[in-house]
């Protein structure tokens, strides 16, 4: 079986595995207060020379989002997200479980717009203290649909957040893929745009781990208190530091993201040529195809993937590439896509 189910289904890149092996017998201070976390922090800071940022390491994406939003909001405040946002769909209501409402608006190809943010804010101001107070804006980049925000879109969102005095955060679980999709911005720009954001390691070649970047000076104090209270402070914190040394010391982070994107785009281009409709045109390492039931049955016997949605009665399936995906695996997947389409055409003629 080919594996295209997700981008975290294998272990980690060799650079990280080597670091883990070399340090395995060392005795190291816990909770992120160690030389490896300090080195990783400095490596990440070097990518954002125009901003003074705090860097923290957390094991996973949901814990990162919980910690960031708890840190941003008072009890009566809420966060705005589009309806496909990870905090609104795939985190089991974890944000609401902290007591903060997620105000959702319809997405545009997985994205949140500046105009939608303004409308949500204005609507809530009509009833004022009778409604939750929108105080933060959440976006993910890349989005859950594999799309990427342009510089113009982010700058428009930043402007409306400044005007309305809203915090702006970014879930960067797949920010590597976003940055290597051909956009004209970097982590250095993101540090200027976002009050805080995450850099995902888990879906970009690390064994575990996300880095939290806090740019807004008013938000820097006490974040470790929130981490600890949220169960997000790992005792063996140096393990997270090692992940990001492996990713950033020789820019493996970017090389992996580029590799993932390029292989996924091969799949998407060929699928279009074969006549598979796209659920959405992805710019990163996720590909969403609409298949009929016969095509689905043929593919599921040969490839591991997820059903993402349904288009009318037809399944929308998602293929995801990872650091571990090979050109050979992509070539085999394309052959299976061809065979599924040919089998369907033969069936139609009969």
Q: Quick one: tokens of 39? A: 């080195």
pLDDT number for residue 342? 86
DSSP 177-222: HHHTTT-S--HHHHHHH-SEEEEE-TTTT-SS-EEEEE--GGG-TT
Using CA atoms, how far residue 133 sits from 69, 87, 111, 152, 160, in Å, is 14, 18, 22, 27, 16
Query: From the CB of residue 3, how many other CB atoms can be counted at a distance below 10 Å?
Result: 16
Residue pair 94/66 in contact (Cβ under 8 Å)? The answer is yes
Residue pair 245/211 in contact (Cβ under 8 Å)? The answer is no
Using CA atoms, how far residue 199 sits from 29, 196, 228, 247, 349, in Å, is 24, 10, 20, 11, 50
Phi-psi region of 75 (alpha: psi -120 to 50; beta: other; left: phi over 0): alpha
Q: Which domains does the chain have, with CATH numbers?
A: 14-251 (3.40.640.10), 253-349 (3.90.1150.10)
Beta bridge partners of 103: 80
Q: Which of 37, 135, 47 is nearest to 95 (CA)?
A: 135
Residue pair 117/157 in contact (Cβ under 8 Å)? The answer is yes
pLDDT number for residue 344? 63
pLDDT number for residue 343? 74
Residue pair 58/32 in contact (Cβ under 8 Å)? The answer is no
Angstrom distance (rounded) from CA 312 to CA 94: 30
pLDDT (tens, 9 = 90+) of the chain, 350 residues, equals 999 999 999 999 999 999 999 999 999 999 999 999 999 999 999 999 999 999 999 999 999 999 999 999 999 999 999 999 999 999 999 999 999 999 999 999 999 999 999 999 999 999 889 999 999 999 999 999 999 999 999 999 999 999 999 999 999 999 999 999 999 999 999 999 999 999 999 999 999 999 999 999 999 999 999 999 999 999 999 999 999 999 999 999 999 999 999 999 999 999 999 999 999 999 999 999 999 999 999 999 999 999 999 999 999 999 999 999 999 999 999 999 999 998 766 555 45
How many Cα neighbours within 13 Å face the side chain of 168?
A: 23
pLDDT number for residue 203? 98
What does the buried/exposed string (b/e) look like for 124-153 if buried means 16 or more CB atoms within 10 Å of the residue's CB? beeeeeeebebbbbbbbbbbbbbbbbeeeb
Residue 142: asked if its preceding bond is cis (omega within 30°), the reply is yes
Give percent helix, percent strand, percent coil of the chain, each to the nearest 5.
45, 20, 35
pLDDT number for residue 215? 98
pLDDT number for residue 347? 55
Angstrom distance (rounded) from CA 261 to CA 285: 5
DSSP 255: H
Count Cβ atoms within 10 A of the Cβ of residue 208 and give its class: 0-12 exposed, 13-18 middle, 19 or more buried.
middle
What does the buried/exposed string (b/e) look like for 170-187 if buried means 16 or more CB atoms within 10 Å of the residue's CB? bbbbbbbbbbbbebebeb
Question: Given the DSSP bridges, would you call strands 133-140 and 102-105 parallel, antiparallel or unpaired?
Answer: unpaired
């Amino acid at each position: 079986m080919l594996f295209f189910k997700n981008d975290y289904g294998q272990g980690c890149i060799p650079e990280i595995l080597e670091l883990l092996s070399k340090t395995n017998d060392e005795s190291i201070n816990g909770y992120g207060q160690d030389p490896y976390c300090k080195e990783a922090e400095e490596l990440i800071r070097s990518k954002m020379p125009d901003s003074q940022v705090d860097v923290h390491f957390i094991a996973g994406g949901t814990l990162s989002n919980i910690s960031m939003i708890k840190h941003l909001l008072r009890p009566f405040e809420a966060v705005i997200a589009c309806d496909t946002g990870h905090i609104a769909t795939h985190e089991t209501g974890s944000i609401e479980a902290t007591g903060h409402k997620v105000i959702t608006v319809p997405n545009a190809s997985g994205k949140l717009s500046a105009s939608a943010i303004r409308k949500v804010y204005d609507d809530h101001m009509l009833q004022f203290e009778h409604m939750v107070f929108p105080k933060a804006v959440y976006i993910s980049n890349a989005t859950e649909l594999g799309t990427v925000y342009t510089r113009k879109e982010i700058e428009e969102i930043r402007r409306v957040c400044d005007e309305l005095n809203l915090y702006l955060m970014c879930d960067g679980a797949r920010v590597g893929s976003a940055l290597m999709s051909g956009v004209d911005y970097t982590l250095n720009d993101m540090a200027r745009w976002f009050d805080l954001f995450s850099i995902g390691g888990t879906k970009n070649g690390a064994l575990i781990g996300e880095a939290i970047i806090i740019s807004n000076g008013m938000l820097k104090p006490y974040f470790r208190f929130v981490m600890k209270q949220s169960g997000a402070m790992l005792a063996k914190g140096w393990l997270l530091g090692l992940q990001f040394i492996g990713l950033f010391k020789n820019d493996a982070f970017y090389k992996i993201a580029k590799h993932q994107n390029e292989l996924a785009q091969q799949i998407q281009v060929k699928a279009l040529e074969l006549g598979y409709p796209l659920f959405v045109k992805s710019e990163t390492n996720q590909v969403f195809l609409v298949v009929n039931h016969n095509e689905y049955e043929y593919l599921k016997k040969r490839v591991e993937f997820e059903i993402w949605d349904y288009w009318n009665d037809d399944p929308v399936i998602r293929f995801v590439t990872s650091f571990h995906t090979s050109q050979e695996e992509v070539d085999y997947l394309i052959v299976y896509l061809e065979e599924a389409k040919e089998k369907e055409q033969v069936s139609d003629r009969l």
